[in-house]
Structure 1
Amino acid sequence: MPQFNPEYFAPQLVWLVITFLALYLLMSRLILPRINGILAQREDRIDGNLQRAEALKEEAAQVLAGYQKAIADARAQAQAALAKAAADIAAETAAREAEFARKMADQTAAAEAGIRAAKTRALADVRGIAGEVAAMMAGKVADTSVDANAAAEAVDSVMKERT
């Protein structure tokens, strides 16, 4: 193998140095600046994406806070509407119950007045009938004729004694 022959070591070392310097210059002047530019672009793009993501995260947090506030407001409004409806229903129910109680009191008073009037008529009729019956019975028992007015007065006096 000629590479291991000592007489070729010097030219190989010269060419090694020349090739190394050429590759070093090529790498340092052309390739590494391009690679550094690409890496800088990537880093800038990643930083921009991170900033946009942070901004979107903050915006999402604000939207979420607004949504939660809207839900809380809607719940409060619903509770207020429910309480108002319950109060309206209770007031309407109380008004209907009061109206019903008033009507029932009126009907009860009218019925009681009718009962008192019927009782008064019945008592008047009973006195008249009792007077007639007393006059008839006295006429049959005693075989005499009794005046209807006298019999009515006798019934009235007995009823007064009893009451």
Structure 2
Amino acid sequence: MMFAGTTMLFAVAAEAAEEAAKSGGLPQLNPHTFETQLFWLVVTFLALFFVMSKIALPRVGEVIEERRDRIKRDLDAAGRLKDETDKALADYEKALADARANASSIAKDTREKLAAETEAERHRVDEQIAGKLRDADTRIAATKTKALSAIGDIATDTTRAVVEKLIGQDVPAEDVKKVLRPVAGS
């Protein structure tokens, strides 16, 4: 059928060319060829309509539908990824807040522990110093007692030496101690 239509088209074109050569004007404006022009216009329109409706337009429709589906899938995937991102961000924020609270708690516990250790060390050092002070007081008291007892001996010896120089006689130590004891007591 297509071959016959093409052959006819060439025959009509050849006839139109002869007519144009005879008349010297445009063949499409020649009123004698209007009927054939209308016939071929309808045939061409129907052929193009058939080709467009059966071949070209379905392919264009498929492409448009595929594109619409792809856009819908991409939008759905983007929405799902956005939801996942929002959830991950919320989880991250929660984990960060928990970590900050945990760090604050650890710092507080560490401060309290160090303060307790410092206080215990201060008490231990205070007790150590107090013990050393008690030992020093004991040594001072012993030294004072020793010095006081030595003062009596020194006073006795000094008094004997002074009396011996003054009177020229040696006085016994027991006599000097008897005389000095009431003076030391008062």
TM > 0.5: yes
Residue 127 of structure 1: how far off its partner (Å)? 0.8
Indicate if the aligned counterparts of 1:135 and 1:146 stay in contact, CA closer than 8 A.
yes
Indicate if the aligned counterparts of 1:131 and 1:152 stay in contact, CA closer than 8 A.
yes
Match of 1:142 in 2: 167
**TM-score of the two chains, using structure 2 as the length reference:** 0.79
Match of 2:84 in 1: 59
Percentage identity across aligned positions?
37
What do the CA deviations read for 1:35-81 (whole angstroms, capped 9, x no partner)?
A: 12221111011101100110011001111111121122122222222
**TM-score of the two chains, using structure 1 as the length reference:** 0.89
* The 10-residue stretch of structure 1 (150-159 or 57-66) with the greater mean CA deviation from structure 2: 150-159
1:37 is matched by which residue type in structure 2? E
Matched, 1:107 2:164: no
* Matches of 1:109 and 1:52, distance apart in 2: 83
Indicate if the aligned counterparts of 1:138 and 1:146 stay in contact, CA closer than 8 A.
yes
Equivalent residue for 1:75, pick from 100, 112, 117:
100
* The 10-residue stretch of structure 1 (58-67 or 71-80) with the greater mean CA deviation from structure 2: 71-80
* Matches of 1:38 and 1:50, distance apart in 2: 18
> What is the number of equivalent residue pairs in this alignment?
161
* Matches of 2:178 and 2:40, distance apart in 1: 168
Task: Give SS of 1:145's match.
Answer: coil
Cα RMSD (Å): 1.6
Q: Which runs of 5+ in 1 are unaligned?
A: none
Matched, 1:2 2:2: no
* The 10-residue stretch of structure 1 (60-69 or 6-15) with the greater mean CA deviation from structure 2: 6-15
Match of 1:121 in 2: 146
Matched, 1:22 2:47: yes
Greater Rg over alpha carbons, structure: 2
Task: Give SS of 1:8's match.
Answer: helix
Equivalent residue for 1:31, pick from 56, 79, 84:
56
Q: Which runs of 5+ in 2 are unaligned?
A: 1-25
Residue 12 of structure 1: how far off its partner (Å)? 1.0
Residue 97 of structure 1: how far off its partner (Å)? 1.4
* The 10-residue stretch of structure 1 (71-80 or 107-116) with the greater mean CA deviation from structure 2: 71-80
Equivalent residue for 1:88, pick from 108, 113, 122:
113
Residue 125 of structure 1: how far off its partner (Å)? 0.5
Indicate if the aligned counterparts of 1:132 and 1:152 stay in contact, CA closer than 8 A.
no
Q: Which has the higher contact order (CA 8 A, sep 6+)?
A: 1
* The 10-residue stretch of structure 1 (33-42 or 121-130) with the greater mean CA deviation from structure 2: 33-42
